[in-house]
Structure 1
Amino acid sequence: MVLVTGGTGLVGSHLLLKLTMNNTEVRALYRTEDKLAQVKKIFSYYADDAASLFAKIDWVQGDILDIPSLENAFESINNVYHCAAYISFNPSDFKKLERINREGTANIVNICIAKGIKKLCHVSTIGTIGRTISNNQADEETEWTRQNANPYAITKHLAEMEVWRGAQEELEVVIVNPGVILGPGFWNAGSGSFFKTAAKGYQYYPPGGSGFITINDVTNIMIALMNSGIYNERFILVAENLTYQEILKKIAISMDKKPPFKSLKFWQLNIGKFADKLRNLMTGSPRTITKNTIYGLKHPTTFNNEKIKNALNMEFEGLDEQVKFSSKLFISEHS
C-alpha cells in the first residue's frame, strides 16, 4: 500500500486519481472533511465512475505535524508520496512555513526510517533550483543560495535537506522540482491565478517568466520514478520555459479573451508591493507582490529538463491541451 500526504491539493488529488485508476492500493491523509469535496470534484473532471474511484482510497484524518496520527497512517505502508506543504510568499509567514514544510517533512522522513519504508517521493519546487547569472539554463546542479529567495523556497530547501538526511540513513528517495503546474480545480492558488487573470481580460502582463508543466506529466513522472530503480536523485520537472505574457496569451485565447499586450513596469510593481502589503495588513489576504517577487521578475531563470527526459526516456506533453481543458472547466464553473 502507498501513502499520499497532501492528498487534497492539486498534485495530491491528481496523483490519487492516477493511482486509483491503476488499481494501486492507496491511503491518503486529510485534515478536514470539507477538503474531501475538492478531491471528488477533481475526480469528476476525468472519470464517469469518480465516486467508485474515490471510494477506493483509505482516508485517514491526520496532520504531518501530529506524530500519533502519522503513526496510524503509516501502518502497512510500503511507499510514500509526500505532497503536503504550506504555500505562502509572505515573509511574516516564515515560522509557519518552516514548521509545516521543514518540520513536517522531518516527521515524514523519521517515520519512513522507523517503519522501514521502501521509497519516498518528495514534491519540492523549482524555487530550490539555483538561479543562473547568464543565459545558461539552470539544472539540478546549479548552486542555490538563500539570497533573494522567497520564504516558501527557503523552507522547501530546508525540507529537501531533511529528505537527503533520510537518504543518508538508507531511505531510498526521489525529489521532484516542478515548475508552475497547469491543472484545473484550484483557481485561487498557483496556476489557477493565471486562469483568473486571463478571464478578466486585463491589458497588462507581468515581466519575466518561469518553467511550466502539466499536472498529468507531474503525476505520471512521480509514479514512474517510484516504480523505477532510480533513487537518491532530484529532477527538474519543466516542459517549457515561457514568459508570463506567453502563458497568459495561451490561456486568454483558449477563453476567447483578448490577450494582455502591455508589460507592467517595475515602478508600477513597486507601488503594487506597498498596496499589496497594506491590503494584507487590513484584510489578511495573501501577499502576492514582495521584494523577492519583484527580484524574480527582474531576473527570470530558464530550466533544463534533460535529466528527467534521459532518466525515464520520455518526452513532455504539450501545454496547449491542458490549457484548453482547464480553461473550459474554469469557464463552466464561473459562468
Structure 2
Amino acid sequence: MVLVTGGTGLVGSHLLLKLTMNNTKVRALYRTEDKLTQVKKIFSYYTDDPASLFAKIDWVQADILDIPSLENAFESITYVYHCAAYISFNPSDFKKLERINREGTANIVNICIANGIKKLCHVSTIGTIGRTITDEHADEETEWTRQHANPYAITKHLAEMEVWRGAQENLEVVIVNPGVILGPGFWNSGSGSFFKTASKGYNYYPPGGSGFVTVNDVTNIMIALMNSDIYNERFILVAENLTYQQILKKIALSMDKKQPSTSLKFWQLNLGRFADRLRNLITGSPRTITKSTIYGLKNPTTFNNEKVKKALNMEFEDLDEQVKFSSKLFISEHS
C-alpha cells in the first residue's frame, strides 16, 4: 500500500487522483475534515464520478508532528510520497516552518526506516536549488546557500538534509524540486494567486521570473520515479523558465482580460514591503513582500531540466493547455 502525506494540497490531491485512477491501494493523511472537501472538488475537475475514486482512499487523520498517529498510519505501507509542508515567506513564521518542514520530515524519515519502507519520494522546491551568478541555468549540483534565501526555502533545505540522512541509513529516496506548479483549485495560494491577479486585469507586473511546471507533470514524474530503479537522486521539475510578465500574459489572454504591460519599479516594491509589514502587524495577514522576495525579483534564476528528461526519457507538457484548463475553471467558480 502507498501512503501520501499532504493529500489535501495541490500536489497531494492530484497525486491521489492519479493513483486511484491507476487502482493503486492508497492511504492518505488529513488533519481536518473540511480539507477533504477540497480533494473531492479537485477530483470533480477530471471525472464525472469523483465519489467512487475518493472512496478508494483509506483516509487517516494524522499530523506529521504527532508520532503515535503516524505510526498507526504506516501499518502495511511499502511506499511513501511526502507532500506535506507548511508554506510561508514570513520571517516571523520561521519556528513553525522549521517544526513542520524539518521536524515533520525527520519523523517521516524515521518511521520509514523503522518500518522498512521500500522507497520515499519527497516533494521539495526549486528554492533549495542554488542560484547562479551568470546567465547559465542552475542545475541539481549548483551550490545552495542560506544567504538571501526565504524562510520557506531554508526549512525545505533542512528537510532535504533529513531525507539524505535517511538515504545514509539505507532508505531509498528520490527528491523532486518543482518550480511554480500550475494547477486548478487552490486560488488563494501558490500559482492560484497568478490566476486571481490576472483576472483583475492589472496593468502592472512584478519584475523577475521563475521556473514553471504543470501539476500533471509533477505527479506523473513522481509516480514514474517511484516505479523506477532510480534512487538517492534529486530532480528539478521545470517545464519553462518564464518572466512573471510572460506567465501573467498567458493567463490574462486565456481569460480574455487586459494583459499587464508595465513593470513595477524596485522603489515601489520596497514601499510595498513596508506597507505589507504594517498590514501584517495590524491584521495578522500573511507577509507577501520581504527582503528575500525583492532580492529574488532582482536576481532571478533559470533552471536546467535535462536530468529528469534523460532519466525518464520524457518531455514536459506545454504550459498553455494547463493555463487554459485552469483559467476556465477559475472563471466558472468566480463568475
| Same structural fold, with TM-score higher than 0.5 when normalized by the shorter chain | yes
Q: Deviations over 1:224-259 (max 9, x none)?
A: 000000000000000000000000000000000010
3-state SS of 2:289 partner: coil
Alignment TM-score, normalising by the size of structure 1: 1.00
Give the equivalent residue in structure 1 for 2:64. Answer: 64
Structure 1: distance between partners of 2:115 and 2:240: 38
3-state SS of 2:45 partner: helix
Q: Which amino acid counterpart does residue 330 of structure 2 have in structure 1? A: F
1:43 aligns with 2:43: yes
Shift of 1:294: 0.0
Structure 2: distance between partners of 1:69 and 1:162: 20
Structure 2: distance between partners of 1:283 and 1:20: 41
Shift of 1:269: 0.1
Q: Which amino acid counterpart does residue 110 of structure 1 have in structure 2? A: N
1:54 aligns with 2:54: yes
Structure 1: distance between partners of 2:278 and 2:52: 46
Aligned length in residues: 335
Q: Which amino acid counterpart does residue 187 of structure 2 have in structure 1? A: W
Structure 2: distance between partners of 1:175 and 1:56: 27
1:308 aligns with 2:292: no
Q: Which amino acid counterpart does residue 68 of structure 1 have in structure 2? A: P
Give the equivalent residue in structure 2 for 1:25. Answer: 25
Q: Which amino acid counterpart does residue 288 of structure 1 have in structure 2? A: T
C-alpha RMSD over aligned residues: 0.3
Give the equivalent residue in structure 2 for 1:215. Answer: 215
Structure 2: distance between partners of 1:15 and 1:278: 38
Give the equivalent residue in structure 2 for 1:2. Answer: 2
Structure 2: distance between partners of 1:83 and 1:63: 13
After the TM superposition, which residues 313-324 of structure 1 pair with which residues of structure 2 at under 5 Å, given as runs? 313-324=313-324
3-state SS of 1:212 partner: strand
Give the equivalent residue in structure 1 for 2:245. Answer: 245
Shift of 1:290: 0.2
Give the equivalent residue in structure 2 for 1:170. Answer: 170
Gaps of 5+ in 1: none
Alignment TM-score, normalising by the size of structure 2: 1.00
Q: Deviations over 1:251-301 (max 9, x none)?
A: 000000010000000000000000001111111111110000000000000
- Identity level (%): 90
Q: Which amino acid counterpart does residue 215 of structure 1 have in structure 2? A: V
After the TM superposition, which residues 111-190 of structure 1 pair with which residues of structure 2 at under 5 Å, given as runs? 111-190=111-190
After the TM superposition, which residues 222-301 of structure 1 pair with which residues of structure 2 at under 5 Å, given as runs? 222-301=222-301
3-state SS of 1:177 partner: strand
Give the equivalent residue in structure 2 for 1:332. Answer: 332
Structure 1: distance between partners of 2:253 and 2:276: 28
Structure 2: distance between partners of 1:163 and 1:194: 31
